[in-house]
Amino acid sequence: MNKRQITLTVNGRDHEVWVIPSDTLLDVLHDELGMADVRYGCGEGVCGTCTVLLDGDPVNGCLTLAVQAAGHQVTTMRGLLGADDTLHPLQECFLRRGASQCGFCTPGMVLTSLDLIRRVGRPTREEIRYALVGNLCRCTGYTKILDAIEEYADQ
Amino acid sequence: MTQLTEPRSGYRVVGTSPAHHDFVDKVKGSLHYAADWQLPGMLHGRVVRSPVPSARITGIDVTAARALPGVFAVLTAADVPSNQIVERASGGLAELEVTVPVLAADRVRYMGEPVAVVAAATPQLAHEAAELVAVDYEELPGVFDVEAARADGAPRVHEVGNTLVSWQIHCGDVDAALAAADVVIEGEYCSQHVEHAYLEPEAGVGWLENGVLTLRVSTQVIEHAAMIAHILGLPQSKVRVIAAYMGGGFGGKEDMTVEPFLALLVWHTRRPVRMIWDRQESLVASTKRHPFIMRYRTGADRDGTITAQRVEILGDAGAYPNLSPRVLFAAAACACGPYRVPNASITSTAVFTNNVPASAFRGFGAMQIVLGYESQLDELAARLGLPRTELRERNFLAKGDLLPTGERLDTCVEVAETMRRAIGLLGEPPRPSAPGKLVGRGIGCNRHPYGRTIWFRDRASAWLSLQADGTLLIRSGVTDLGAGQAASLCQIAAEVLGARLDDISVYIGDSALNPPAGGTFATRQLYMSGNAVLHAAQELRDRMAPVAADLLGAPADDLEFAGGRVRAHRGDVSITLAELAAACEQRAVSTAHLSTWRAQAGSFDPRTGQGDTFPDYTYGTHAADVEVDVETGQVTVLRYAACHDVGRAINPMRVQGQIQGGAMQGLGYALTEDMAIQDGYVQAALFASYLIPNARDFPDVLVDIVESGEGKGPLGARGIGEPPIGNVAATIASAIQDAIGVRPDRLPMTPERILALLDERTRQDGAARKEDLT
């Protein structure tokens, strides 16, 4: 299939990439641009490990075509880091609360909850649970993830 | 939300919960998992798998696949130098000898069995090439459940027979004790196939470097390097396995996954190759948790003292042995739970079927049977009219007691304390939220081993070196599942040698560069590598202490290693670790030290069923409040609490995390997860159709930790990786029984099954009584 060139804006930086129309945003971010914080977990939009923000809204990278992201702002979790790799306050809360075990789900958890807090301010614990149903974690049992998100929302 | 005991005094680093290197990388998103590496000229591998569960292969045509442009290799059984995986999971003690092919040659025994493997320039091309491999199958009769597989004339999965292993443990005279018992109860309990569902699918990259076949994969066991060398006919020195930090494993990455296929493709193409299993491929082809049938018969005196127990366990091994012999052994060794049973007769049998192979999964046989022994305890309590807690306390094991294998328990048993605390965490019993709802409270206690079976004579090595600037390197072959296996080693070394945590780097998971630690499984790494690091650190400190004492003008036993310094108590003088390293260098005292720690030795006699099984156990209790909707059969978990004696919490936050995560996996096992296999065909083709818990399904897991200080791990620790998944199904069943008066005996406890129980209860006229567990 013919490749076409598109410009992807990821974490504020423009990338010119050649893609075929069926390439997913996940494939291009992970394999072409080397963004290891966007991860294949299921390819069905069920687990949320490939979550990125598209113009601020969380989407599954495995269900989004790369060509659909052209012209939009893509943010991965590493895009939240400050100068010199300093942690975003939400990442600080994840660190302090032990909200990562294997860490594979962490980018999706951080981006989805950040979007929730930006939209509603101080969500209840139940609202956070609801927002995270598309982000699965098999290690932590969720409690420490919820604790971390609540701590950030309280700040 | 969570409760925690205060760290024990006397330690500075152990008992605190620092965020270590792995956490930092994980919250930054900068950790490179197995799928994240790419190399120049890298190809993409894919496995061709059998679409049928039992068939003869009458022909394989790879012509079209090989002809596809961009395809570099299409390999079948004929291309494998030594086409067998040698797995003798019991160490050859008792099981049938069965050859496991890397690629099936003339016979497939389960759906998803590997038949061929391809490498191509892109993942898409590899996919296309795999589709073009034409395999002719002549389907054969299969056998899909353990009872059918044991029947006379059943189709044979392997020529040598369908019974892989049958363990026996006997003590006392069970027949006489049952005949003399005041009360005898019996029950049959069944569990299901379960998927590990780690979020990181199986993945890895392989390449050749200096003539060494190197694989960087998501694995719990780098020691598979030896098996890979055997398959390729290479010297063991020519295969290197590097374990990336894993995105979860839970036992599913204890057997090899991508390794042999990557190795074959790299060796044949001489190019780097990456292989990532699709989630859907992983669902079909990865190993599962063994479904068990557990038949219990328990005799007791009128006062509730258990006098005898007969236990029969049947496990569905699937089509190949994998680790089934050891899983069924663990089940047998733990079949009587944390209770004194003076007369016991236990058989535990692994049976071949044409289902996908079952193997290691957090809990490893010792978890399934908790439903068996705890159900018996609850039924006994109901029969005798005793509170469930009182019956348990009457029968709990204590230090010095004998197990059915004849072993004497040589550490304390604080299970009663965990029971008291777990129930205490729940608070007041709940009230039904609406008419038509019933509430109930349940408990579940367990005894779970940590460490490998004793006859393997386990060992682990660790290599420490104090650098010239006073910083410390730890090298260990440990692999890290995300439970802090590497970070715990840093805390232990920091405690002993006084290096600051930020000054310690830990290098793990490399079969070429690290001293071997054994794999990360069996809740063994804190016990084994923790002890290896503890002893290495103590020996290194003892070697350097005289140098420090000389510099400080103090006796060597008056020194404190802390905060990056060595301090003499008298005179309040100190030097930095860098100054100590320099002084050691001048005096030709080595600041590097390799130490090997060996677990206790022993042996087990499979004919008598007597001997040594596991080094020690972790005990715990879970407690839950549930509400049952009698109209829909829906079970809502209202509150959930867990308490385990971990001996000593090296990192309390990570201990909590293990308990919360284990309990949550157990809740999925108890209530929603079912890897249904129909006539050998896996039914869950999508991740969406396999229901692991999400953030809304269950409440927070409340945790309390008992620190008895009497474990066999470093500084008195006990392992906690596997134990907390064990109690859950029994706890939920206990709560449902308390709510509706009938005991669920089949997992998962779905609404359909609960409705069926409610119908049964209606028939039984609600005879069951309720009691107070507060």
Question: What is the predicted pLDDT for the residue at B4?
Answer: 37
Pairing of strands B616-629, B437-450: antiparallel
**Is this model's pTM higher than 0.95 or not?**
yes
Pairing of strands B701-706, B635-645: parallel
Cβ burial, residue B43 (10 Å; 0-12/13-18/19+): buried
Contact call for A141 and B276, based on CB within 8 A: no
Contact call for B28 and A78, based on CB within 8 A: yes
Instruction: State the CATH architecture for A83-154.
Output: Orthogonal Bundle (1.10)
Determine contact, residues B398/B411, Cβ cutoff 8 Å: no
Q: What is the pLDDT of residues B324-380, one digit of tens each?
A: 999 999 999 999 999 999 999 999 999 999 999 999 999 999 999 999 999 999 999
Determine contact, residues B57/B106, Cβ cutoff 8 Å: yes
Q: Would you give the end-to-end CA distance of chain B in angstroms?
A: 20
Residue B6 pLDDT class (50, 70, 90 cuts): very low
Q: What is the mean pLDDT of residues B432-443?
A: 97
Q: Kindly give, in sequence order, each residue whose CB lies less than 8 Å from that of residue B41, ignoring residues fewer than 6 positions away.
A: B271, B272
Residue B391 pLDDT class (50, 70, 90 cuts): very high
Asked whether residue A79 carries a pLDDT value surpassing 50, the answer given is: yes
Question: What is the predicted pLDDT for the residue at B572?
Answer: 86
CA pair distance B557, B271, nearest whole angstrom: 57
Would the CATH topology of B21-30+459-598 be identical to that of B34-140+201-245+253-285?
A: no
Averaged pLDDT of chain B: 95
The answer for B 570-609 residues in CB contact with A (under 8 A) is none
Contact call for B696 and A34, based on CB within 8 A: no
Which residue would you say has higher pLDDT here, B2 or B264? B264
Asked whether residue B481 carries a pLDDT value surpassing 50, the answer given is: yes
Query: 3-class DSSP state for residue A73?
Result: strand
Q: Which CATH class is domain B292-453+606-764?
A: alpha beta
Q: What is the pLDDT of residues B256-294, one digit of tens each?
A: 999 999 999 999 999 999 999 999 999 999 999 999 999
Cβ atoms within 10 A of the Cβ of A84, count? 5
Q: What is the pLDDT of residues B489-511, one digit of tens each?
A: 999 999 999 999 999 999 999 99
Domain coordinates in residue numbering, chain A:
4-78, 83-154
Query: Is the peptide bond between B748 and the residue preceding it cis, with omega within 30 degrees of 0?
Result: yes
* Helix intervals (H) in B644-740: 652-671, 728-740
Cβ burial, residue A15 (10 Å; 0-12/13-18/19+): middle
Determine contact, residues A137/B200, Cβ cutoff 8 Å: no
Question: What is the predicted pLDDT for the residue at A129?
Answer: 98
Biggest CA pair distance of chain A? 50
Question: What is the predicted pLDDT for the residue at B771?
Answer: 53
Contact call for A100 and B665, based on CB within 8 A: no
Show the tokens assigned to A134: 């598309």
Q: What is the pLDDT of residues B613-630, one digit of tens each?
A: 999 999 999 999 999 999
Asked whether residue B665 carries a pLDDT value surpassing 60, the answer given is: yes
Alpha-carbon distance A97 to nearest alpha carbon in chain B (angstroms): 8
Q: Which CATH class is domain B21-30+459-598?
A: alpha beta
Q: Among positive and negative, which fits the CA dihedral B726, B729, B730, B731? A: positive
Residue B77: name the closest of B92, B57, B93 by CA.
B57
Residue B51: name the closest of B135, B126, B128 by CA.
B135
Query: 3-class DSSP state for residue A26?
Result: helix
DSSP state of B305: -
Q: Which amino acid is at B720?
A: I
Cβ burial, residue B145 (10 Å; 0-12/13-18/19+): middle
CA pair distance B438, B734, nearest whole angstrom: 14
Alpha-carbon distance B177 to nearest alpha carbon in chain A (angstroms): 43
Contact call for A94 and B657, based on CB within 8 A: no
Question: What is the predicted pLDDT for the residue at B169?
Answer: 97
For B199, the closest of A138, A144, A147 (CB atoms) is: A138
C-alpha dist (Å) from residue B518 to B254, B281, B477, B522, B636: 11, 28, 7, 11, 41
CA pair distance B445, B2, nearest whole angstrom: 20
Q: What is the mean pLDDT of residues B411-416?
A: 98
Residue B94 pLDDT class (50, 70, 90 cuts): confident
Q: Which CATH class is domain A4-78?
A: alpha beta
Mutation target vs B (from A101, A106, A112, A132; most B CBs, 10 A cutoff): A101
Asked whether residue B514 carries a pLDDT value surpassing 60, the answer given is: yes
Residue with tokens 């939220």: B433
Q: Kindly give, in sequence order, each residue whose CB lies less than 8 Å from that of residue B766, ignoring residues fewer than 6 positions away.
A: B741
Phi first, then psi, for residue B639 (nearest 5°) are -145, 145
Show the tokens assigned to B733: 């069943």
ipTM for the predicted complex comes to: 0.98
DSSP state of A72: S
Q: What is the mean pLDDT of residues B717-726?
A: 98
Contact call for A96 and B19, based on CB within 8 A: yes
Q: What is the mean pLDDT of residues B111-121?
A: 98
CA pair distance B422, B416, nearest whole angstrom: 10
The answer for B 692-751 residues in CB contact with A (under 8 A) is 692-696, 700-701
**Helices B652-671, A143-154: crossing angle, 10 deg rounding:** 120
Question: What is the predicted pLDDT for the residue at B20?
Answer: 87
Any A CB within 8 A of B434 CB: no
Q: What is the pLDDT of residues A81-138, one digit of tens each?
A: 999 999 999 999 999 999 999 999 999 999 999 999 999 999 999 999 999 999 999 9
Q: What is the pLDDT of residues B554-579, one digit of tens each?
A: 999 999 999 999 999 888 899 999 99
Q: What is the mean pLDDT of residues B68-72?
A: 98
Asked whether residue B754 carries a pLDDT value surpassing 70, the answer given is: yes
CA pair distance B731, B40, nearest whole angstrom: 53
Q: What is the mean pLDDT of residues B394-414?
A: 97
CA pair distance B307, B593, nearest whole angstrom: 52
State how far Cα A137 lies from the chain centre: 14
For A138, the closest of B19, B660, B692 (CB atoms) is: B692
Q: What is the mean pLDDT of residues B242-250?
A: 98
Mutation target vs A (from B694, B701, B705, B720; most A CBs, 10 A cutoff): B694
Show the tokens assigned to A4: 């076409």
Secondary-structure breakdown of chain B: helix, strand, coil percentages, each rounded to the nearest 5: 30, 25, 45
Question: What is the predicted pLDDT for the residue at B456?
Answer: 86
Asked whether residue B306 carries a pLDDT value surpassing 80, the answer given is: yes
Residue with tokens 């807090």: A117
Contact call for B36 and A36, based on CB within 8 A: yes
CA pair distance B162, B154, nearest whole angstrom: 9
Asked whether residue B5 carries a pLDDT value surpassing 50, the answer given is: no
Q: Say what percent of chain B tops pLDDT 90.
A: 93
Superfamily of domain B34-140+201-245+253-285, CATH level 4:
Aldehyde oxidase/xanthine dehydrogenase, a/b hammerhead (3.90.1170.50)
Pairing of strands B559-562, B504-508: unpaired
Q: Where are the beta strands (DSSP E) in B431-577?
A: 437-450, 459-466, 472-476, 504-508, 559-562, 565-568, 573-576
The answer for B 484-513 residues in CB contact with A (under 8 A) is 484
CA pair distance B1, B693, nearest whole angstrom: 19
Q: Kindly give, in sequence order, each residue whose CB lies less than 8 Å from that of residue B10, ignoring residues fewer than 6 positions away.
A: none
Alpha-carbon distance B520 to nearest alpha carbon in chain A (angstroms): 14
Q: Which amino acid is at B42?
A: M
